[in-house]
Structure 1
Amino acid sequence: MSELDLYAKYLDLGVTLGRSGEDLTAWVEDKVRQDIERSDRQIERERKREEMEMQRQREEMEMQKQREEKEMEMQKQREEKEMEMQKQREEMELQKRREEIALQDRREERELKRLELEAETKKLEIGSRASVDVAGPKQSYGAQRPKIPPLHDPSQMDLYLERFERHAIAFGWPESEWASCLSNLLQDEALSIFLSLSPAEGSDYQAVKRVLLRRFGCDRNGFRSKFLSVKPQEAEISAPL
């Protein structure tokens, strides 16, 4: 209601109440002023209520925002924690797999060593049985010795010994056994020479070889003597220079 409407309302009311003149005017103005003040207070209260409501809404919005931010932060922390736990699980799984592989490698290595040890043991057992079954070095190498014919022509001693050495090397005979094996192939004078040697010389192939080559003129000095003793043929003497 406007101020004019208030004046008209209270003027009619004052006349009705028997007021007039200055008393009526003062009474009307007082009533109008009271109504205006009351209205202003009402308006102020409404304004304050609106401000309080707006403040409340702002606070609620701020609180909601904080709750959402907190929820987002908590969700982020949960996700990070889950990722960290997943990473730890993967690392543990990887470590477990590495340990399994390492264990498997150790098992395979032990198995390989066991097989190697078994093979070596069998090899030693076979060698031990062979050493018991045979009479000595001559029989043990005789099983794999090729059929070399005995020495018939001592003048070919150098060629015969070269042939013997090639066979011995081809069949992997240890040189410590060569002299003993060679003695089984010597005959007549060559055998007599071998038997005349001392045990130390008779077991040394190189010593036996030097003696035989020297005795039958197949060493350097023997070849020189043979060369000087050869007489030229008549055709060679009569041939013109």
Structure 2
Amino acid sequence: MADGADNKTHFGYKQVEKDRKAEMVADVFHSVASKYDLMNDLMSFGVHRYWKRFTIECAAARPGMKVLDLAGGTGDLTAKFSHLVGETGEVVLADINDSMLKVGRAKLHDMGVVGNVSYVQANAEALPFPDNHFDIITIAFGLRNVTEKEKALKSMQRILKPGGKLLVLEFSKPQNALMQKAYDFYSFQVIPRMGSMVAGDAESYRYLSESIRVHPDQETLKQMMLDAGFDQADYVNMTNGVVALHRGYKF
């Protein structure tokens, strides 16, 4: 049996039992699901759309490819991939949270995105897909919420085809002190108030800000990807490192 320290993980700045974290994160996203897209636009001043567009460009999806949009939430990336892979391709929108999946499915159906998209409720640490199955895997703003990130990265590496790529879009560490100071003020003073006013939930948005600070920085996550079996990994900073796109390749 694991000792107390080994069985703990972070939930924002709190230390919690590992087997409780998934449920606690689920509660956060059940709470924010209905206002998720609106809050993303407000919190990022719409810049999240640029970050996601760059991720799509780096993915270089082509007709006939199989794509997994992991922790895909309300389906922003799935919608783009569905168009790019066409009728002969396949896109799976997977999320551990059923509330987010329901919002994503309804949104994509309203957009007319049907036919080549399927929906799967799945835990990133034990993905229910065959080995060497997907050409591209993306996980946007989801990895920091995973309890065992190392297990999740190994699971992604397993189901990625040789020649495939993983794209991890995630908040990261700003590259200068002035940006870090401004970012901290905005994250802890403005975002929870915004969450309270718009979504009626300050605590969930306080957790989201804290979860960013305890997430591995750029170099640490790059090494974690290599340790998980990716043959090559790199990253690109955006908005001065507030967000980074990590890329892992399986040869």
Provide TM-score, normalisation by structure 1.
Answer: 0.19
Between Structure 1 and Structure 2, the one with more strand by share is 2
Larger radius of gyration: 1
Provide TM-score, normalisation by structure 2.
Answer: 0.18
Between Structure 1 and Structure 2, the one with more helix by share is 1
- Pick 1 or 2: higher relative contact order, CA cutoff 8 A, min separation 6: 2
